[in-house]
Structure 1
Amino acid sequence: MSKQKGLEYWLQWQVPLCAVIIVIPAVVALNYIRNDNKNNARTLRSFDLWNSCWRNLNPFWLLLYRAFAFACLTSLLYNMFAVTGAFIFFFYTQWTFALVTFYFAVATLVSAYGCWMSTKKISSEDGVSTYKEEEFKDKIKLQSPHAQKEIHQKAGFLGSLMQAVYQTCAGASVLTDLVFWCLLVPLLANVQFKLTLLIGSLHTMNVVFLIGDTALNGLPFTWYGFAFFAVWSCLYIIFQWIVQACGFMTWWPYPFLELGTPLAPLWYFGMALFHIPCYAIYAMIVSVKNSFLPRLFPRAFVRLN
């Protein structure tokens, strides 16, 4: 709609129905996170956060990859911000892109700390050894009980945050890229926007860097993370509703968010369901990694989770 939305717009019958479609998944996801946080199927170890799933690959290379990804994504985000200003954050793509950038920032810090810890000398029963000596001898069996306790400790808040953001980014990146390339580009390119190298990169490099990180890391990927993905999308839609209600924008950044059509509930319901295959696609990528790579590279690949 081209004019500011008045009260009559928000009193249409489809608005409360769309609200229910948003609120119910958000409440269910938040309740699931609260109840299952302590009962998560697997304890996340600090070891998983910074180590590689490749036996002979020093974690320092994972650190370099994450730092490189963070630098590239930050540059792309800055260039987009320089072109359009804060307006870019009205779009789900930029929300997700910023979240992926944040993930690589946290992952870089965690990897740097892990690499530092891997060279730290500790006391063992046989004298003095290092994490590096004990750990890379065999990534699963550690000689020093003290090293084993330290490395396999619970990851803590930062580790849990990192895993939650990682899984949220996975689903959200697949969602944004599929919607953009399969729906928006065929229907709206050269009508509502012009496809440029920068815009194309924003809808490609997020998932490319994530898949690269997945190919190297030892992080677990479970359906527990789908709850965070659902909450992330619900937060964006609530944000959009607030922006529209306050009159900061007079048009919807995505046509399927428009509430002034009788088909709005179907669009909202369809997008809600579409989150499942998007997350499943990335879960399948991780499953293929953990299923086939050990067979192809039995001496090089170590399944850490």
Structure 2
Amino acid sequence: MALEIHWYDSICFSIVVISVLGALYALRLKENQARTETKSSNSKNESLLVSSAGTVDISVIDDECVNSLSHVGYCDLWSSCYKGLNPFWLLGLRIFAFVVLCGFLVWDIQEWGLSIFLYYTEWTFTLVIIYFAVGTVISAHGCVLYYTKKKDRLDEFEDREDLLKDDVEQNNILSSGNGGEGGNDYCNRNLQSQLDGKENNEIACFWGYLMQTLYQTCAGAVILTDVVFWSVIVPFLSSAHLQVDVLSCSMHTVNGIFLLLDTSLNNLPFPWFRFGYFVLWSCSYVIFQWIIHACGFTWWPYPFLDMSTPAAPFWYFCMAAVHIPCYGIYTLLVKAKRSIILHVSLINS
């Protein structure tokens, strides 16, 4: 048994267990609140992508995809935060990112074999690939809905032009009979009912919330892996197992670049409470390392995970604490993007 238990290891176990329990409690509390809000909006989650209530509205996509603390609207998954930007651009980015990241992962496997999946970097890199895969499928589905609805809107617009002509003729008839006031009211009411009807943003269901969870987990994990790699491993811990070369440097760069590009275009919410998924992701990796060492594995992929030294509790506490600023950095980036968009829209208006 390669995992020797010392008295100070109980502190390491406690740190991980408390992190897991705290994350599960927060997620249970907030996600239950999300379900309550969804039920209060009279939505029926009968689809893996969207609820059965309502249909996608182009005007909703541009104006009413408002992100709340817990609500994930289906159009938020594939539409852009920039009004009028064709969702095809976000789809193209996700396809390109998926292909490029898969290429780097295949290259890494050819260089080092499947043993690379002992590293947190490959876990996170694979998770980012899964996010872009799911995002590509949902974006493709959204684009189909977008263009289908757009075509329907054009046909409806032609019908409305005919309706407008009929309203004007009726308005002239009524105006001649009562001095014009009643005819104007009739025309305005008719056009208001025809042109101002808007549908609510649909509630995302299983695959939508899966994509949201992947997105926020990847956000914190990518910041963590890249910060640790460039600030700790490169200057201090480079070794035969943690080799710094073109491939490793590229993998710790392109993952962040593509995720930030996706963030700059997407319309996904970023509530703090889903920080718990990021914590669970990292704890799962640590527990995986404990299990394989208990089964006879002899070396630690990262020296600061080694539990055989008295300094292990300090390193475990630092690893737990660093999750907060890593997730916080990405939260600030999302808030900065939204603030800039709001500021620009106010200037243009």
TM-score w.r.t. length of structure 2: 0.75
Aligned pairs for 1:233-252 within 5 A: 233-247=282-296, 249-252=297-300
Question: Is the partner of 2:2 in helix, strand or coil?
Answer: coil
5+ residue gaps, structure 1:
131-141
Contact 2:31 2:70 in 1 (8 A): no
Deviation at 1:123, TM superposition (A): 11
Q: 1:276 to 1:121 in 2, by over 3 A?
A: closer
CA RMSD of superposed structures (Å)? 2.5
The answer to which of 265-274 and 187-196 deviates more is: 187-196
Q: Give the whole-Å Cα distance in 2 for the aligned partners of 1:125 and 1:216.
A: 25
Contact 1:121 1:129 in 2 (8 A): no
Q: Give the whole-Å Cα distance in 1 for the aligned partners of 2:71 and 2:108.
A: 38
Identity %: 44
**What is the match of residue 28 of structure 2?**
34
Contact 2:82 2:341 in 1 (8 A): no
Deviation at 1:217, TM superposition (A): 0.5
Please, which of 87, 112, 125 is the counterpart of residue 59 of structure 1?
Answer: 87
5+ residue gaps, structure 2:
35-68, 159-193
Q: Highest Rg: 1 or 2?
A: 2
Q: Give the whole-Å Cα distance in 2 for the aligned partners of 1:223 and 1:35.
A: 13
Q: Does 1:103 align with 2:141?
A: no
Please, which of 263, 288, 292 is the counterpart of residue 336 of structure 2?
Answer: 288
Deviation at 1:35, TM superposition (A): 2.2
Q: 1:158 to 1:83 in 2, by over 3 A?
A: same
Contact 1:50 1:62 in 2 (8 A): yes
Deviation at 1:195, TM superposition (A): 1.5
Q: What is the letter of the counterpart of residue 211 of structure 1?
A: L
Aligned pairs for 1:135-174 within 5 A: 145=197, 148-149=199-200, 152-174=201-223
**What is the match of residue 137 of structure 1?**
none
**What is the match of residue 143 of structure 2?**
115
The answer to which of 13-22 and 273-282 deviates more is: 13-22
Question: Is the partner of 1:39 in helix, strand or coil?
Answer: helix
**What is the match of residue 138 of structure 1?**
none
Richer in helix (by share) = 2
Aligned pairs for 1:49-88 within 5 A: 49-88=77-116
Q: Give the whole-Å Cα distance in 2 for the aligned partners of 1:84 and 1:196.
A: 13
**What is the match of residue 181 of structure 1?**
230
The answer to which of 42-51 and 292-301 deviates more is: 292-301
Moved over 4 A (4+): 121-127, 142-145, 297-301
**What is the match of residue 47 of structure 1?**
75
Q: Give the whole-Å Cα distance in 2 for the aligned partners of 1:124 and 1:75.
A: 39
Q: Does 1:222 align with 2:267?
A: no
Contact 1:49 1:219 in 2 (8 A): yes
Question: Is the partner of 1:56 in helix, strand or coil?
Answer: coil
Q: 1:242 to 1:129 in 2, by over 3 A?
A: farther
Deviation at 1:278, TM superposition (A): 0.4
Q: Give the whole-Å Cα distance in 2 for the aligned partners of 1:60 and 1:74.
A: 21
Question: Is the partner of 2:156 in helix, strand or coil?
Answer: strand
**What is the match of residue 136 of structure 1?**
none
Q: 1:88 to 1:101 in 2, by over 3 A?
A: same
Contact 1:56 1:300 in 2 (8 A): no
Q: 1:179 to 1:117 in 2, by over 3 A?
A: same
The answer to which of 26-35 and 208-217 deviates more is: 26-35
Q: Does 1:14 align with 2:8?
A: yes
Q: Give the whole-Å Cα distance in 1 for the aligned partners of 2:294 and 2:348.
A: 55
Give the aligned length.
280
Q: Give the whole-Å Cα distance in 1 for the aligned partners of 2:33 and 2:148.
A: 32
Q: Give the whole-Å Cα distance in 2 for the aligned partners of 1:223 and 1:80.
A: 33
**What is the match of residue 89 of structure 1?**
117
TM-score w.r.t. length of structure 1: 0.85
